[in-house]
Structure 1
Amino acid sequence: MATTFEVVPGKSVGDFQLGDSLWHVLDLLRTQKTRYPKIEVSWDPDNAHKSAVTIHLQNITLVFPPSPHQTLQVISLPNLASTVLPVGLTLAYENDTLLSPSRPLTRARVGKILGPTYAHNGSSKLVYPGISFDISGAASGSGGAREDLVTSLTVVPREEGDIPVLNTIKGCIIQPNVGVTLFVPDELEIKINETTSQDLLLDLGPPLRKYWKEDERLERMWGAGDAEKGSCFWNYFQYGLDFLISPSGFVTKVIAHSNIPGTPLFQRYARCPWTLPTSSNNLDFSSPLSSFRAHLASKSQAQYVDEVRLTVPTIASNGHGKKKSKRVGSPSSGRSGSGGSDVSPEHGAGDGFEAVDAMVLDRVVEGGLDGVIGVGTSRLVGFDGLIVEEDQQSGGICSILVWRDDNAL
């Protein structure tokens, strides 16, 4: 199938633009399966929360270095001089054709279209602002070095740090017992029990999905007040945010997601670039759980288990914006009943029935993960006005839930 990509140095190649979020790019690829029939996503499974994510397509490689925004920063087209050149591939630059099935890309053609340049640091790489070309060093004809073939090209920012953040919020400051402050790009404060659903519509637009959970078991998870008929989850997947809206129309809880590769919710939500300010530094998705424990006030074991049972959702979407609830066993029994995710107290090593300050969350039982291997559990740790979900395999923070403890105010 013939494929034409417009190349814009420092900005884009075809459909892919520097600064696009990983969630946006993968969502785009889902809608264009005919154009991109084969997709491979790779990362370091032993260090997923700090790993770059790479998307391999037939003609393009897209690199998302580890960052708070998880955005596209390198676009590469390899094998341009290969004997197995992608069938029908054409590269265009402004009003010129860089490469086509009948016209190979050579050193001379690069100079003619983009202007003269020198080899980068004495190497065979030709570098222009926002784009570079690797040269084979083996002439394709009788024209000498001018006819050396280009083996690959790479589009990068024109200057270091010069990458726009597209299709996502610019920042999110977590405020336990208060709410969150978003930058979209203007500052937007969302306060628990003060911000209304109408405010969200005006400032963030409509959510991608809504879900009303009308089930009496919900009160065991969210508390009786939140479980009234009409409570609703608003899912802003593109921003990595969930809001629980009360029947009276107020935001009662906020969840920020980290989109860590290999976790059950990977790619259901974009990475929310959240930070939690502390007295010494800012905590984020890559901070170890020990840092949260060192800077935040923990609940006692008895308080924690009871409050998590009434407060923490399973924070999971089944692909249709739905949430699952789960009755949590008492600290003495350490059991959990039937229903959605398996949420149960984490037991100490010395005493099988001694609850500690964490609860295990197994999302695999929620469904929708058939055939997926290597998906582990996470654990929930409660603090004053905050619930942190840690991925037990990587140690990264999968999500963070902000709520208000009215008894502590």
Structure 2
Amino acid sequence: MYSALDIDIKPGQGFGIFEIGTSLWTLLDILRREPNLYPQIDVKYDPDTSATTPVIVHIRPHIDLLFSGKQQRLHTVCIRQLRDQSPPLTVQYNGNILSSPNEVLRRVGVSKMFGPTYPGDELRYPGIWFSFEEDGIGEGLTAPRPGDKAQEVKRIIILQNERDGSNSAIDALDEVHECAAMTGELARAIVKVHDGVTLQFHPIAFSTFLHVGIGETTAQDLQLELGPPPRIHYKEDERMKIHAAVRPTDSEDGTGYFYNYFQHGIDFLLSERTHTVRKIILHTNIPGSPLFQRYKRCSWEIEDKPEDDEDDTPPRKRFFDRFETISHFLGHREPPPSMILDRTDEDEHLTLPNSKTRLHGYDGIVLEVSELSQVVSLVLF
């Protein structure tokens, strides 16, 4: 038996590690470290619009997890195949067993545990729904009449409570409201070319802005504000230097070293001489790309100067905008010449249908773009 599937559900919040608002990167990282508990996992997404559409993680046979398209946050949890014995599944609520290998969950059991609710084809309570259909299977077959006390529950759906307290349907394409699972995590990164990046964290209402300036912020500053990086990587790959004019400071700075903050989707390249930030790399974590799941999605926004002094909302382009739109925003009617990068060249065991990306260089910024015009990463220097 998988002890991880002895589940104590929490309406509106999830259950166990499957907490509403958890990031896709965080949850997949947890599942990857527990192969014995979760041996069969499928990740499903739309390859044509994987930067903006929801991602579904199916943990066979019982659990489906729906993540929001833009922020990649756990939006909805569906517990299904309640009677499947491989492995057996026990569902509890407040210490009471709802469903188990020896106890079938029926309409009358839900009503006894949760009380009355509005009529409908499903029993809907704030933060949790009980459905009597198994993904549409059985349509047209003889089934118990709606309202039959003996109707067997086929699916349990846990989702975030509506802010207005209503029990209306929640659109699967909506983003997750800010919640406890997001506390301390990066909410957005505002990019200014030739300057740096400004970071804002959850909870937004109580967050102060952290500015990381190129040539200004030191390694000590980063550790003080962001904590020690999960990894420090000393830069050895200097192949890109052949495409750039050599500056007098290059030899003095050396190759430099990276602070890798995977949990924020950001890398900082620091100078070996001054220990200040030389480059900032922001990752979009697009499913199907070679770097998927190495970094959490960083919700970056490129900001331009306001059109006039009275404008307090400067124009911005975001990570989910198409490359052509961002390129035009950066002042280019036509994209500049690009270089082809295939990150699978050095890993003979990795094969992807769209492994090649293009590097488009601008003044102070480089965009790595997929064949579908999605910006995979952004380099600020």
TM-score with structure 2 length normalisation?
Answer: 0.82
1:51 positional shift: 2.5
Post-superposition offset of 1:12: 1.3
Find out whether 1:240 has 2:265 as its counterpart. yes
Residue 157 of structure 1: how far off its partner (Å) = 0.5
Structure 1: give runs of 5+ residues left out of the alignment.
302-355, 404-409
- Closer/same/farther in 2, CA of residues 215 and 63 from structure 1, 3 Å limit: closer
Distance across 2 between alignment mates of 1:289 and 1:381: 10
1:146 to 129, 144, 149: 149
Aligned-partner Cα distance in 2 for 1:364–1:188: 35
Secondary structure of residue in 1 paired with 2:148: helix
In 2, Cα distance between equivalents of 1:251 and 1:20: 30
Q: Label 1:299 to 1:231 Cα distance change in 2 as closer, same or farther (>3 A).
A: farther
Give the secondary structure class of the aligned counterpart of 2:129: strand
**How many Å separate the matches in 2 of 1:288 and 1:235?**
26
Do the aligned residues in 2 keep the contact of 1:22 with 1:72 (CA within 8 Å)? yes
Give how far 1:11 is off. 0.6
Letter in 2 for 1:135: F
Partner AA of 2:370 in structure 1: D
Q: Quick one: distance in 2 between partners of 1:34 and 1:87? A: 12
2:201 — aligned with what?
184
Q: Is 2:8–2:95's contact at 8 Å kept on the other side of the alignment?
A: no
Residues 273-282 or 176-185, more deviating: 273-282
Partner of 2:12: 10
CA contact (8 A) 2:8 2:92 kept: yes
1:138 CA displacement: 4.3
Q: For residues 384-395 of structure 1, what are the structure 2 equivalents within 5 Å?
A: 384-392=363-371, 394-395=372-373
Give the alignment's TM-score, normalised by structure 1.
0.76
How big is the shift at 1:294?
Answer: 1.9
Q: Which residue of 1 aligns with 2:139?
A: none
User: In 2 relative to 1, CA 163–75 (structure 1 residues): closer, same or farther, beyond 3 Å?
Assistant: farther
Q: How much has 1:220 moved relative to structure 2?
A: 4.2
> Percent of pairs identical after alignment?
35
Cα distance between partner residues in 1 of 2:337 and 2:238: 27
Code of the residue aligned with 2:279 in structure 1: it is: K
CA distance in 2, matches of 1:273, 1:152: 33
State the Cα distance separating 1:70 from its structure 2 match.
1.1
Corresponding residue for 2:185?
168
Asked if residue 92 in structure 1 is aligned to residue 83 in structure 2, the reply is: no
In structure 2, what residue type is equivalent to 1:181? T
What is the RMSD computed on CA atoms of the aligned residues? 2.6
1:275 matched to 2:301? The reply is yes
CA distance in 2, matches of 1:358, 1:230: 24
* Alignment match of 1:250 (pick from 276, 292, 308): 276
Query: Is the CA contact 1:41–1:54 (under 8 Å) kept in the aligned structure 2?
Result: yes
Cα deviation for residue 378 of structure 1 reads 1.1
What is the deviation of 1:270?
A: 0.6
Q: Deviations over 1:235-294 (max 9, x none)?
A: 111111000011121011101000011111011111001111345743122212222222
Q: Secondary structure at the match of 2:21?
A: coil
Separation in 2 of the partners of 1:362 and 1:232? 23
Mapped pair 1:38 → 2:40: yes
